[in-house]
Amino acid sequence: MALVVACAGWLVSPSAGAEVVDTTTKAAARDLGTEGVEAYLAGDFQTALQKIGRAYDALPVPSLGLWSARAMEQCGLLVEAQERYLETTRLEVTDGMDRAVQTQAREDAARERALLVPRIPKVTVSVQGAPAEGLSVLVDGKSVPPSLVGTPLPTNPGELIVVATSGGRRVERSLTIAEGQSIVVLLSFEAEAPLIAVAQAEPEPEPAAPYVKPTPAAPSDVRRGSWQPVAGWVGVGVGGGLLAMGLITGLMAQSQYDSLDCDAAGSCASDTDLGAVNSVNTLRTVSVVGFTSGGIVTAAGVSLLLIPIFSSSSSSAALQLGAPLSGLVGTF
């Protein structure tokens, strides 16, 4: 709100070259301009455009001219905005308490116009097959002087309709033009010549790379299933455990046997503990089973790790490329 109050202070004295206005008109223009600035700051640019424009018509001072041009720019009226900026820079400033503020408004208008000009699109109309005499060209409903046909014309961004009439014949072209873009439009009265619109500012995006279907693998392709490594290492681990068990129980059986009173042929004394003999035999049996099963399981695990399995399955991959999207955002 403080900014709005400050802006309202700009609207009190007309320029020296302006027609002298009465105090009632001055007060009404000041109030209307203040309302327009409030609408602008609130983002309601259409209301700001209407109210500030009416205030400027009644009281053409640089401060109102600056805000009027800003509202035009926000509403997409870039051509009108740059002309209002230029007009504002040429307004004279009277002596008074707000002289510094009005002078600053002119400087701001010059700076903002310089930033706006490169954003204004241009359209060049070229006419073929029709004499200059009696030729009429309209761009978005506005007549183009014959001397400017073929010359780049500043225009506002958006939808445009270009029309040429000659000798009772009419040629029309609709197009869309973006900020900063330059377009050449050819309007031909020759039946064999096409209507064209060539964009010069932004090149057309490259087409997306075509999709190429990969060649599938032959049915005899040799692959290992994803389960094989897991099963193979499990087999090696279990087999190794069984082998270790066979080794340990064999050593225990031998140690217990050496403690018995038995000869090399396996004959033991009559007073030898029968339970100790049975324990030795049990350990020997466990050792033999451990070595045998451990060897079999370990061999199976190694086979799964080293021997491939034939499979008819195949895999394929495809990469799809597309053109990127881009957008243009304008700011003031």
User: Collapsing DSSP states into helix, strand and coil, what is residue 144?
Assistant: coil
Same domain membership, residue 108 and residue 33? yes
Residue 269 lies in a domain: no
Q: Which residues pair with 123 in a beta bridge?
A: 153, 183
Where helices occur in 42-74 by DSSP H, the ranges are 45-58, 62-74
Q: How far apart are CA 327 and CA 200, in angstroms?
A: 17
Q: Which residue has the tokens 């020759």?
A: 190
Contact at 8 Å (CB) between 150 and 90?
Answer: no
Q: What are phi and psi of 127, to 5 degrees?
A: -115, 135
Choose among 232, 252, 254, 255: nearest CA to 244: 252
Q: What is the CATH number of the domain that holds 53?
A: 1.25.40
Indicate if 73 and 140 belong to the same structural domain: no
Closest by CA to 123, choosing from 196, 30, 44, is 196
CB of 61 closer than 8 Å to CB of 39: no
The answer to whether residue 82 is domain-embedded is yes
Alpha carbon 328 to its chain's center: 11
Domain membership of residue 126 (yes or no) is yes
Are residues 61 and 164 both part of a single domain? Answer: no
Sorted by sequence, the CB contacts under 8 Å of residue 81 that are 6+ apart come out as: 69, 70, 72, 73, 116
Range of the domain at 249: 222-263+274-310
The count of structural domains within the chain is 3
* Contact by Cβ (8 Å): 321, 209: yes
Q: Pairing state of beta strands 158-166 and 122-128?
A: unpaired
Instruction: State whether 18 and 92 are in the same domain.
Output: yes
Residues 82 and 141 reside in one and the same domain: no
* DSSP 3-state of 6: helix
Structure token pair of residue 232: 């193979």
DSSP code at position 262: B
Strands across the sheet containing 142-143: 142-143, 136-139, 158-166, 169-177
* 193 and 236 fall within a common domain: no
Question: 154 and 83 in one domain?
Answer: no
pLDDT given for residue 237 in this prediction: 82
**What is the rounded CA–CA span in Å between residue 160 and residue 216?**
52
pLDDT at 234 over 90: no
Domain end residue (candidates: 118, 149, 178): 118
Question: Cα–Cα distance between 121 and 152 in angstroms, integer?
Answer: 9
Which element (helix H / strand E) includes 286? Answer: helix 274-306
Query: 98-122: per-residue pLDDT in tens?
Result: 788 899 999 999 999 999 999 999 9
Q: Which of 96, 118, 140 is the last residue of a domain?
A: 118
Least trusted range by pLDDT, from 104-113, 256-265, 298-307: 256-265
Predicted structure pTM score: 0.52
Residue 24 lies in a domain: yes
Give the per-residue pLDDT at 54: 96
In-domain check, residue 65: yes
Contacts of 317 (CB under 8 A, 6+ apart): 214
pLDDT at 284 over 80: no
Phi, psi of 160 (to 5 degrees): -130, 145
d(CA 42, CA 44): 6
Residue 226 lies in a domain: yes
Residues 248-268: what's their mean pLDDT?
A: 69
Q: Are residues 188 and 153 in the same domain?
A: yes
Coil vs helix vs strand at 78: helix
Give residue-wise pLDDT tens across range 140-187.
889 999 889 899 999 999 999 999 998 888 999 999 999 999 999 988
Interval 289-295 mean pLDDT: 76
Least confident of 124-128, 148-152, 201-205, 315-319: 315-319
Both 176 and 229 in a single domain? no
110 and 131 assigned to the same domain: no
Are residues 256 and 286 in contact, defined by beta-carbon separation less than 8 angstroms? Answer: no
CA distance 332 to 329: 10
Q: Is residue 216 part of a domain?
A: no
Within a domain: 252 = yes
Assign 137 to helix, strand or coil: strand
Q: What is the mean pLDDT of residues 16-41?
A: 82
> In terms of domains, do 78 and 26 share one?
yes
- Pairing state between β 309-310 and 222-223: antiparallel
Return the minimum-mean-pLDDT range out of 26-40, 69-83, 239-253: 239-253
